[in-house]
Amino acid sequence: MLLNPGLRVLTAEFVGALGLLAAVVGSGVMATNLTEDVALQLLVNALATVAALGVLIATLGPVSGAHFNPAVSVAVAVRGDLAWAHVPAYAAAQVAGALAGTALANLMFGLPAWHLSATERTGGGLWLGEVLATAGLVMVVGFVSQPGRGERAPLLVPAWILAAYFFTSSTSFANPAVTIGRAFTDTFSGIQPSSVPGFLVAQAVGAAVGLAAIALVVPSTTSTAPSTHASPTHASPTHPPPRASTPRPAQETRHDPP
């Protein structure tokens, strides 16, 4: 298994979800304070969110995998990279972090730490948007989880979220922890608690679709070929260093690499 949810790992997931929600909620409040243009408000909210997400993935990814999302943790477990027994701890840390991040953002702007949203987000179109947003996210995560592609995660994951902010009807929540956290702020980014179950179901469906897409279209790179990043001081057992059968002249020996 890839990860063991010790205190450091769970703290990283908590901090990542906290930072993500602080960015989502805080930038939404700031945007509405700065302008009445809804399109500009959404742009400000989206740019702040994906910038924060990229930084959080880059800094916390080596510690916990930078899930920050129960749907991603479940998808990783389905693919065999996280023990199912660890999923509840991941999800609990993520939801707790989301609630803490929402409270932090609310308090920064002089609002109650938690206050329920009155923004209704329901209907087949929005749910379909969440299915698509979550499926795409899970597929991107599946791609960057392949060996040799992890360095692309801080770019590709935020890029998908930024795009989905604008082309999906739901503005791409794509995360059960984010959805729950956003129910506790009656601001630009909020969602009415009664709308949360529909989003959670859509996200579960989207995660399943994303996993199916990974299986169909993302090529596996788990071959036994030697890694191109292997240390030069350790030769591959299938490609031993060349051995000269006879002593080489001294002038050739001088030009051998150290």
Closest C-alpha among 130, 249, 132, 247 to residue 199: 130
- DSSP label at residue 227: P
User: By the 8 A CB rule, do 78 and 211 touch?
Assistant: yes
CA distance 71 to 201: 11
- Say if residue 150 is exposed, middle or buried (CB neighbours under 10 Å; 0-12, 13-18, 19+): middle
Q: Which domains does the chain have, with CATH numbers?
A: 7-217 (1.20.1080.10)
Q: How confident is the model at residue 93 (pLDDT cuts 50, 70, 90)?
A: very high
Q: Which of 15-24, 71-80, 194-203 has the lowest mean pLDDT?
A: 71-80
Residues of 36-68 as b/e, b for ≥16 C-beta within 10 angstroms? Answer: eeeeebbbbbbbbbbebbbebbeebbebbbbbb
CA distance 162 to 45: 10
CA distance 110 to 105: 9
What are the start-end ranges of the H helices in the chain?
Answer: 7-34, 38-64, 70-78, 87-108, 124-144, 153-167, 176-182, 196-217, 250-253
CA distance 258 to 243: 15
**What is the pLDDT averaged over residues 34-63?**
97
User: By the 8 A CB rule, do 144 and 150 touch?
Assistant: yes
CA distance 149 to 152: 6
Asked whether residue 118 carries a pLDDT value surpassing 60, the answer given is yes
Record the pTM: 0.82
- pLDDT higher at 243 or 73: 73
Percent of the chain with pLDDT over 70: 83
Closest C-alpha among 45, 78, 74, 76 to residue 153: 76
Note the pLDDT of residue 219: 64
Give the max Cα distance, the chain.
84
pLDDT tens sequence across 122-180: 999 999 999 999 999 999 999 988 888 878 999 999 999 999 999 999 999 999 999 99
**What is the pLDDT averaged over residues 30-45?**
98
State the chain's mean pLDDT as an integer: 87
Note the pLDDT of residue 200: 98
